[in-house]
């Protein structure tokens, strides 16, 4: 079962755990006719980008106000968030690395995955743009120029969804990070901290658009390579999903509350909060859960097909 829930929350309290209130959508009624989830606590692990942008506060506060429960939100990199879920130390995960989500689902740790929202990644850098990548149409060309000029690049280096995407992009460009010199810096921190570090180092980094826009004005960094939201390459798309921890693997998880939370954030009300959330007038995320045509692929690992002949 992993470490005990209360001990886990206490351990992360000084390094990113955020207790915010939230409420749920569904639940059985108790003997007084009140929803059975009232007064309960949901433990959510999530990416640093949803926390750094402030979106998580908006979603969770609305969830609490409606259904009188509490959300203990732990902001981690995607890899760490999934490890917490594997250990049974959270009830639900919100993240943005489909390949890692698929491994989580295939191993049986997660169930009932839903598409939630998307934004995109951008390559940002100092205004001087020493590698002269501003306006490049392809990510591969931009990264090749950064490596060729040995311009400073600050990596998340934290096994997050952004870090996984960055490594994927270097690989597609035919470049091995293991061969890079001192110009490639392993930052080992969340997105907001990495943007600040990149600003101080005078280099480049890969960032999700939401966190970058939310911090606009706090750094001198500029977008050098756009993502698909502004007409850039599709390889910089950044989809988010939400997954309940499997109660058949960890009996201690609050599955009812997890499914209520998933139901809320993918409902019309939850999606409206996502769609309308802005920073300095800029939309940070785009709702993706509601669609007239069903998308069954969102519930299973990408590309999964039944092995049954029936």
Report the alpha-carbon distance of residue 43 to residue 5 in Å, rounded: 9
Question: What does the pLDDT look like over 157-178, one tens digit per residue?
Answer: 988 889 999 999 999 999 999 9
Identify which has the larger pLDDT, 276 or 15: 276
CATH class of segment(s) 120-236: alpha beta
Q: Under CATH, domain 41-119+238-299 is a member of which superfamily?
A: Periplasmic binding protein-like II (3.40.190.10)
Vertex 275: Cα angle to 273 and 276 (nearest 5): 65
Mean of the pLDDT values across residues 253-279?
96
Listed range (23-37, 113-127, 131-145, 233-247) with the worst mean pLDDT: 23-37
pLDDT of residue 308: 53
- Spell out the domain ranges in the chain: 41-119+238-299, 120-236
Question: What does the pLDDT look like over 87-129, one tens digit per residue?
Answer: 999 999 999 988 889 999 999 999 999 999 999 999 999 999 9
Listed range (36-40, 103-107, 128-132) with the worst mean pLDDT: 36-40
Report the alpha-carbon distance of residue 165 to residue 238 in Å, rounded: 9
Collect all residues with Cβ–Cβ distance below 8 Å to 31 and sequence separation of at least 6: none
- Cα-flanking dihedrals φ and ψ of residue 117, to 5°? -165, 180
* Structure confidence at residue 19 as a pLDDT band (50, 70, 90): very low
Same CATH fold assignment for domains 41-119+238-299 and 120-236: yes
Percent of the chain with pLDDT over 70: 87
In DSSP terms, 121 is beta-bridged to: 208
pLDDT of residue 31: 42
Q: pTM for this structure?
A: 0.82
Report the alpha-carbon distance of residue 48 to residue 208 in Å, rounded: 10
Listed range (2-6, 143-147, 251-255, 266-270) with the worst mean pLDDT: 2-6
Kindly tell me if the per-residue pLDDT of 26 is higher than 60. no
Report the alpha-carbon distance of residue 258 to residue 245 in Å, rounded: 8
Identify which has the larger pLDDT, 117 or 190: 117
Half-sphere CA count of 127, side-chain side, radius 13 A: 2
pLDDT of residue 33: 43
Helix H, strand E, coil C: the string for the chain is CCCCHHHHHHHHCCCCEEEEEECCCCCCECCCCCECCCCCEEEEEECHHHHHCCHHHHHHHHHHHHHCEEEEEEECCHHHHHHHHHCCCCCEEEECCHHHHHHHHHCCCEEEEEEEEEEEEEEEECCCCCCCCCCCCCHHHHHHHHHHCCCCEEECCCCCHHHHHHHHHHHHCCCCHHHCCCCEEECCCCHHHHHHHHHHHCCEEEEEHHHHHHCECCECCEEEECCHHHCCCHHHEEEEEEEEECCCCCCCCCHHHHHHHHHHHCCHHHHHHHHHCEECCEECCEECCCCCCCCHHHHCCCCCCCCCCC
pLDDT of residue 107: 95
Kindly tell me if the per-residue pLDDT of 12 is higher than 50. no
Question: What does the pLDDT look like over 255-266, one tens digit per residue?
Answer: 999 999 999 999
pLDDT of residue 77: 81
Report the alpha-carbon distance of residue 279 to residue 55 in Å, rounded: 10
pLDDT of residue 170: 98
* Structure confidence at residue 306 as a pLDDT band (50, 70, 90): low
Give the chain's mean pLDDT: 87
pLDDT of residue 25: 39
Kindly tell me if the per-residue pLDDT of 286 is higher than 80. yes
């Amino acid at each position: 079962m992993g470490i005990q829930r209360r001990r886990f929350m206490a351990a992360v309290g000084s390094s990113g755990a955020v207790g915010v209130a939230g409420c749920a959508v569904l639940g059985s009624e108790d003997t007084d006719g009140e929803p059975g989830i009232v007064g309960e606590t949901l433990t959510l692990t999530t990416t640093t980008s949803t926390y750094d942008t402030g979106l998580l506060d908006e979603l969770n506060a609305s969830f609490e106000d409606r259904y009188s429960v509490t959300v203990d939100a732990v902001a981690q990199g995607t890899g760490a968030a999934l490890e917490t879920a594997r250990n049974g130390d959270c009830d639900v995960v919100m993240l943005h690395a489909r390949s890692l989500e698929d491994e989580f689902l295939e191993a049986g740790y997660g169930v009932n995955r839903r598409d939630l929202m998307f934004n995109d990644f951008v390559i940002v850098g100092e205004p001087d743009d020493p590698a002269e990548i501003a306006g490049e149409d392809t990510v591969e060309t931009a990264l090749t120029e950064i490596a060729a000029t040995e311009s400073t690049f600050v990596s998340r280096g934290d096994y997050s969804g952004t870090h996984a995407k960055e490594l994927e992009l270097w690989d597609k460009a035919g470049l091995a990070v293991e061969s890079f010199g001192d110009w490639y810096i392993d930052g080992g921190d969340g997105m907001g901290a990495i943007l600040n570090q990149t600003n101080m180092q005078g280099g480049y980094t890969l960032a999700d658009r939401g966190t970058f826009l939310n911090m606009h004005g706090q750094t001198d960094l500029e977008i050098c390579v756009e993502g698909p939201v502004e007409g850039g390459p599709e390889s910089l798309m950044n989809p988010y999903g939400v997954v309940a921890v499997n109660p058949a693997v960890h009996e201690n998880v609050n599955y009812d509350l997890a499914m209520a939370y998933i139901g809320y954030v993918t409902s019309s009300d939850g999606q409206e909060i996502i769609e309308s959330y802005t920073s300095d007038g800029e939309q940070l995320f785009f709702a993706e859960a509601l669609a007239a045509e069903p998308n069954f692929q969102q519930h299973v690992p990408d590309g999964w097909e039944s092995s049954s002949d029936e």
